[in-house]
A and B are shown apart, each in its own frame.
Chain A
Amino acid sequence: MSKKVTNSYEEKARAAENKKAAIGDDIDLSLYKSSFAQAATHVDTKNISKKDKGLMLSAGVMLDDLSQRSGTFVQMDNTPIHSSIRQEGIEIMATSQAMAKYEWLKDYWWQAVAVDADKYTAHVELHQSNGYFIRALPGAKTVYPVQACLYLNKTGLIQDVHNIVIAEEGSELHIITGCTTAFKNEPGLHLGVSEFFIKKDAKVTFTMIHSWTPQVGVRPRTGAIIEKNGLFLSNYVIMKPVQSLQLYPAARCVGENATVRFNTVMVSPPNSKMDIGSRVFLDAKRARTEIVSRAITTGGDIIARGYIDGSKPDVKGHLECRGLIMGDSGTIHAIPELKGTLAGVDLSHEAAVGKIAEEEVEYLMARGLTRDEATAAIIRGFLKVDIEGLPPMLNSEMQKAIADSEKELF
């Protein structure tokens, strides 16, 4: 890695150190401890405590049986503690290790997310963060998903993460990531930069389950670049409390026929603040996208955003955002946006926010379900987004994560 490049990012980051984010509450970083990235270690998953494993499992990360995964990565606070691979053609390691191994990786560094986007990206750069590097070699296809866990263990700390995912030409990569905390009522802050590079004819499905606690702040910064015929399918689930979470990943289709799908399921309990959206830039002919989100508040506040920008011929995009308000408090603010800069674009959106339709509850009651059973069935249905292209196993794991959280919530 050339010194000059590093310096220029560092300079930009320094200049952005106090730059507030465009959206979301401003978080005072000085209230948290910052630490520098620690060298990667290797802990056998057998030696990770039962309690930690249990928490990780609730975020979809299975450490007791690695046979159902193509590879595994675990980072605790700022220390990567485990990387293992079970399939040829797949690479998984800490980003610091990958930077040391591959000179060319600098060409990807901060290419999908701007280093000076805001103070959070700047903080990640300035603390030489670790994170996961996942790569599928040309033509490699994961049989099982690769899993990664980002775990907040110490209280009052900022976890800085810089992830890089590269799907080389014609490869297929399924990833499940879980983010969670070891503590319940203490503060913590997760800053996660993720950069995705999906090459020609490659396919990436990325399923992320967040399971935070009421005093934790979260500011992920995600960018994806999708080349010709590439597919990026991103699923995001958050159903647990969080103090303040804001994310607005941006995917850019730069090659013909590139396709992006974002599915988001969010449930905001009392005192939780979630500002969650997805952005897609259709910058190539016949690029397509579908953004689907389901939001439920049981008392917390939700801003559900969506943005599609169509600037090339024959692009097509649809945005669907539906929100349910349960109970007497809580808000859902849906902000769907479309921008077309060409006659040949086809962009549409539908958004609806309201309470459960009484007519639907009564319909199910007329079949003999009690009011509570009917309501539960409707909520279950509401949260069931049909996800095309997700391997059945991941789909069922995601549905299970949703169902488990549902039981606690309603």
Chain B
Amino acid sequence: MDSEYLLEINGLTTRIDNREILHGLNLRIQPGETHVIFGPNGSGKTTLMMTIMGFPKYRVTKGSIFFKGKDITHLPLDERARLGIGISLQRPPVVRGVKTRDMVAACLKKEDGSEIIEKLAKKANLADFLDRDINHGFSGGEIKRSELLQLLAQAPEVSLLDEPESGVDLENIALIGELINNLLQKIHPIRKRTHSGLIISHTGHILEYVNARTGYVMCNGRIVCEGDPHDILNTIKDKGYQECVSCLRR
């Protein structure tokens, strides 16, 4: 099947433990595009990311996910990762004894990548973290940078970034933005970019650093609004998410 979309989601319905969280969601991303999702806590943003990535707890009961024209709706998590989907988790677990270096190496999938690993770690300002247990005692910002460092090594075609700026202090947010732009090939003109991003942002800060084409608002497991990300953000800042909720009710 040929498709102009890199990622195409149709009528996606997801359950966790038999509770329906996402109720028939549609989303389409072309190569090189970056989209941003806003929405209040508990609206299902993380659930959407985890479902696209294929975490087993997030069970698709209706709808489909296509990646590069291939139906991946029921493909195992690790196969999706190897196909070119990557995720930066909102709250990744600590894995004792597994070093940051091991994680980056797993992402890189090269025989001898130690030089590249050092270079990327330096870029993420995490050179001293390579030999530490992954996420163990990391600050909020360090976790986010470590997630992005892993993605930079993986270089996935679609990056799912779950609140990459939350818990990051102002000094570091520019660095986060820079890493994301690296990941999404922002040095290339749009036409030449092949890597796409789907970014969840609770605060919208990231829009100051990352150019996004489309914005969405999620409420109660549905996408209730789609448009220019800056417009959406301004509306939310002015009127709060209450406006979006009532919008849905109409």
Chains A and B come from one and the same complex? yes
A interface, CB within 8 angstroms of B: 322, 357, 359-360, 362-371, 373-374, 377-378, 380-384
Tell me if B95 and A360 are in contact (CB < 8 A).
yes
Smallest Cβ distance from A395 to chain B, in angstroms?
14
Tell me if B93 and A368 are in contact (CB < 8 A).
no
Tell me if B93 and A365 are in contact (CB < 8 A).
no
Tell me if A380 and B97 are in contact (CB < 8 A).
yes
Q: Which of A360, A370, A378, A382 contacts B78 (CB 8 A)?
A: A370
A365 to B89, CA, bound (A): 13
Residue of B nearest to A383 (CB): B97
Q: What 3 pairs across the A-B complex have the smallest Cβ distances?
A: A381-B97, A381-B98, A368-B81
Q: Is B212 an interface residue (CB 8 A)?
A: no
Smallest Cβ distance from B62 to chain A, in angstroms?
23
Can you show 12 pairs from A to B with CB atoms below 8 A apart?
A360-B93, A362-B55, A364-B98, A366-B87, A367-B81, A367-B103, A367-B106, A368-B81, A368-B107, A369-B78, A371-B78, A374-B78
Tell me if A378 and B106 are in contact (CB < 8 A).
no
Tell me if B97 and A369 are in contact (CB < 8 A).
no
Residues of B within 8 A of A382 (CB): 96-97
Smallest Cβ distance from B47 to chain A, in angstroms?
15
Residues of A within 8 A of B133 (CB): 381
Residues of A within 8 A of B76 (CB): 365
Smallest Cβ distance from A331 to chain B, in angstroms?
22
Residues of A within 8 A of B96 (CB): 322, 381-382
Residue of A nearest to B135 (CB): A363
Q: Is B14 an interface residue (CB 8 A)?
A: no
Tell me if A364 and B103 are in contact (CB < 8 A).
yes
Interface residues of B in 54-101 (CB under 8 A from A): 55-56, 76-78, 81-82, 86-87, 89, 92-93, 95-99
Residues of A within 8 A of B82 (CB): 368
Given contacts A367-B86, A377-B98, 8 further A-B contacts (CB under 8 A): A366-B78, A366-B86, A366-B89, A367-B107, A367-B154, A368-B109, A378-B95, A382-B96
Known: A377-B102, A381-B102. A366 touches B77 (CB 8 A): yes
Which size bracket describes the interface of B in this complex?
20 to 34
A369 to B79, CA, bound (A): 9
A357, A364, A370 — which one has the most chain B CB atoms within 10 A of its CB? A364
B interface, CB within 8 angstroms of A: 53, 55-56, 76-78, 81-82, 86-87, 89, 92-93, 95-99, 102-103, 106-107, 109, 133, 150, 154
Tell me if B87 and A362 are in contact (CB < 8 A).
no
Q: Which of A322, A357, A366, A383 contacts B81 (CB 8 A)?
A: A366
Tell me if A369 and B106 are in contact (CB < 8 A).
yes
Residues of B within 8 A of A366 (CB): 53, 55, 77-78, 81, 86-87, 89
A363 to B107, CA, bound (A): 12
Tell me if B78 and A365 are in contact (CB < 8 A).
yes
Residues of A within 8 A of B97 (CB): 378, 380-384
Tell me if B78 and A363 are in contact (CB < 8 A).
no
Residues of B within 8 A of A374 (CB): 78
Tell me if B106 and A357 are in contact (CB < 8 A).
no
A383 to B81, CA, bound (A): 27
Tell me if B95 and A363 are in contact (CB < 8 A).
yes
A322 to B78, CA, bound (A): 28
Tell me if B78 and A368 are in contact (CB < 8 A).
yes
Residues of A within 8 A of B55 (CB): 362, 366
Known: A377-B102, A377-B106. A367 touches B95 (CB 8 A): no
Tell me if B77 and A381 are in contact (CB < 8 A).
no
Known: A357-B93, A362-B56. A368 touches B154 (CB 8 A): yes
Residues of A within 8 A of B95 (CB): 360, 363-364, 378, 381
Smallest Cβ distance from A108 to chain B, in angstroms?
39
A377 to B103, CA, bound (A): 10
Residues of A within 8 A of B109 (CB): 368
